[in-house]
Amino acid sequence: MIHQNENTNLQTEQTPEKSSKVWFITGASRGFGRVWADAALKRGDKVAATARKLESIADLKEKYGENILTLELDVTNPEQVKTAVEQTYTYFGRLDIVLNNAGYSLVATIEEASADDIRALYETNILGPVSVIQAVLPLLRKQGGGHIIGTSSNLGHVTLPVIGYYASSKWAFEAIHESLAEEVKQFGIKVTIIEPGAYATEFGSQESLKFSQGLDIYTDFKEQFFGTLRNLERGDPNATPDALFTVVDAAEPPLRFFLGSQCLNWVRQAYADRLAIWEAWEDVSNSAQGESKKGTPEQRK
């Protein structure tokens, strides 16, 4: 349920657009991608749903007919991404919402993960979304606007042990989208980063997790960590579509949007801790400035 702010500006800024929207969604076979694709179709929007295996989304085609285009897509294949985007634009005639949702988590301590493990994670979680963004931008500019949405995590601001590489991919994901927002607003293109907390989705399943080869010295530590995770209170993913629709229908959507009630307090404390440390060391930091000079290195010679 979305609670209305006492400030009436929220109501005026979130005037819904009544016409149906065309979505392009990656990772639509399960988790949030599946929930949001189904919900968008139910409300009368049109959706290009993509997944690594076409059979995993075939039932959506049977249910929604011409309002859905199902496409097989591996986001780590830039040519396949470009083709899928072009097929969507040709089929529906426009693109309103591009939802970068595909991704997975690597389970490993920093010491355990191999370079190949890390590279594969970044190929999917960072370079895959970039391929989608680069493929859609010429089309969004051509039509005079659109809305790019990236599914990040509250771990785009904080981190945890054992899934540090996953968190690092989300920190990079957030930086890319923040830069993108500044670069494309001149074209009428909006950008929003969706940051979910813990939810009872398939994200924790074997299909959405990859495990590096473990070291015995971390066995007990990881067992304790996973015990803590198992006790986390998890939100209901089916409660999220209305919040997402409020964001995409807003005249001025936010750059960042927490999904769920658990994120803000955690991130607020994390930033308070960081500020306290920076401020405690401020004098030492300032002492390293030296004599400030303006101009380029060549001009200062």
170 flagged as catalytic: yes
Cα–Cα distance, 5 to 14 (Å, whole number): 12
114 flagged as catalytic: no
Cα–Cα distance, 204 to 64 (Å, whole number): 28
Nearest to 235 by CA among 258, 206, 254: 258
Residue carrying structure tokens 């500019």? 141
152 flagged as catalytic: yes
Catalytic residue among 89, 104, 165, 166: 166
Catalytic residue among 21, 153, 169, 170: 170
Catalytic residue among 152, 153, 168, 212: 152
Give the catalytic positions in this structure: 152, 166, 170
